[in-house]
A = this chain, B = another copy of it.
């Protein structure tokens, strides 16, 4: 009878850690987002889309896989790509193998934008994250995040 099981609350340390994580991440995300917006008119998610495409074979990726890679609903991705397409940074191509599908393809303008945005972004990430941690902490953070990544039954 599951309903009778005692709830395993977070203890004080866990609670403090959890809240610290929420706050730290929210602040950093907001800062990165505002910075990209101000300097290149991109949101953090759009930046992620461009990076992902740029590292993909032929600078292209199927919508579904792209959505999963940047952790975004397929509807949101569809709108997002529409915007990037209007701006000329991405184009869509129909997929011959699977005629339901579509490729999102990074354009030259998109790659140029990414290259313009990357240095400032990298500097900020370094500034706000890695320069504040010791080498051991960086290694620990990596191990911790890898442990949290697998999402058995994704929603």
Query: Taking beta carbons and an 8 Å cutoff, which residues of A are in contact with B?
Result: 7-10, 13-14, 16-18, 20-28, 30-31, 34, 48, 71, 119, 122-123, 125-126, 128-130, 132-133, 137-149, 151, 154-155
From B7, B24, B34, B129, contact of A119 by CB (8 A) = B7
Q: CB distance B140 to A144 under 8 Å?
A: yes
Residues of B within 8 A of A149 (CB): 20, 23-24, 27
Q: CB distance B144 to A133 under 8 Å?
A: yes
Q: CB distance B23 to A71 under 8 Å?
A: yes
Give the docked Cα–Cα distance between A7 and B141 (Å). Answer: 23
From B25, B129, B148, contact of A129 by CB (8 A) = B148
